[in-house]
């Protein structure tokens, strides 16, 4: 009974391609997030949605486009992949966007650009 | 803006040793503070949290106290086990965003 599940777990692709990562949560949470973790383990938020509405959009290139078809799903589409996009991408969810709400993370998608 | 600074790793200890991982923060207002743990190949898991000054979060033998006067939230455990080997992240949450420290890799040797 995985709470936050991401697919695929691994993604290896060529520079210039377009790819998507899917995320689903079965916790009934209102808020979902995408994070990027670089090779030094540094974690940075990219986007956050609350009930399908975008509430956080960090300085991320326009090539990254999140989509939330419903509050249980938050997908990430990446156009024209570049070498610097290689990282582990984590999806997370929380009950709501209020202060003090812990976030539940998926196991990550390791994206490798050749 | 808000920021979190953790002690540099990696940290290597023997089993049953005492653990401290330092964490200090800079924030406006009254943030909530968290420790997350990441085991190899997995996502982050909440270890403990504190939402106001002088609160102590605790879980699995780990503790951290929210110290507003020193803007710190140091993680401690009295006797570590090999299974505690992981990367530990201190984080703060202001209005909406969770901001992480750089992570501290902990290795416990038997």
How far apart are alpha carbons B90 and B100 in whole angstroms?
A: 6
Q: Is the Cβ pair A107, B34 closer than 8 Å?
A: no
pLDDT score recorded for residue B97? 84
8 A C-beta contact, residue B79 and residue B52: no
Round to whole Å and give the CA distance between A49 and A93.
9
The residue whose two tokens read 């009950």 is A95
d(CA B75, CA B85): 14
Q: Give the whole-angstrom CA distance, residue B24 versus residue B81.
A: 25
Backbone angles phi, psi at B84, to 5 degrees: -80, -5
Contact yes or no for B3/B51 (Cβ under 8 A): no
A103/A2 Cα distance (integer angstroms): 14
Mean pLDDT, chain B, whole residue set: 94
Q: Could you tell me which residues are beta bridge partners of residue B44?
A: B38
In this complex, which of A41, A55, A101 lies closest to B103 when CB atoms are compared? A41
Alpha carbon of B54: minimum distance to chain A alpha carbons (Å): 15
* Each residue's pLDDT tens digit, A55-108: 988 878 999 999 999 999 999 999 999 999 999 999 999 998 888 889 999 999
Chain A environment of B94 (Cβ under 8 Å):
99
Inspect the interface and report whether the beta carbons of B103 and A99 lie closer than 8 Å: no
- Chain B residues with CB under 8 Å of a chain A CB are 30-32, 34, 36, 38, 41-46, 49, 51, 87, 89, 93-100, 102-103, 105
pLDDT for res A1: 65
């Amino acid at each position: 009974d995985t709470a936050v599940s991401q697919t695929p777990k691994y993604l290896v692709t060529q520079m210039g391609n377009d790819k998507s990562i899917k995320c689903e949560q079965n916790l009934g949470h209102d808020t979902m997030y995408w994070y990027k973790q670089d090779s030094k383990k540094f974690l940075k938020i990219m986007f956050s949605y609350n009930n399908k509405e975008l509430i956080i959009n960090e300085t991320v290139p326009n090539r990254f486009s999140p989509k939330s078809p419903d509050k249980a799903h938050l997908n990430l589409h990446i156009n024209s992949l570049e070498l610097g996009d290689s990282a582990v991408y984590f999806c997370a969810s929380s009950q709501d966007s209020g202060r003090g709400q812990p976030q539940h993370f998926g196991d990550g998608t390791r994206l490798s650009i050749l | 803006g808000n920021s979190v600074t953790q002690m540099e790793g990696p940290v290597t200890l023997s089993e049953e040793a005492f653990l401290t991982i330092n964490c200090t923060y800079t924030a406006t207002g009254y943030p909530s503070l968290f420790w997350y743990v990441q085991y190899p190949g997995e996502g982050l898991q909440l270890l403990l949290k504190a939402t106001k000054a002088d609160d102590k979060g605790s879980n699995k033998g780990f503790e951290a106290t929210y110290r507003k006067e020193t803007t710190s939230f140091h993680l401690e455990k009295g006797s570590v086990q090999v299974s505690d080997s992981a990367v530990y992240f201190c984080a703060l949450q202001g209005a909406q965003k969770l901001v992480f420290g750089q992570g501290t890799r902990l290795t416990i040797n038997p």
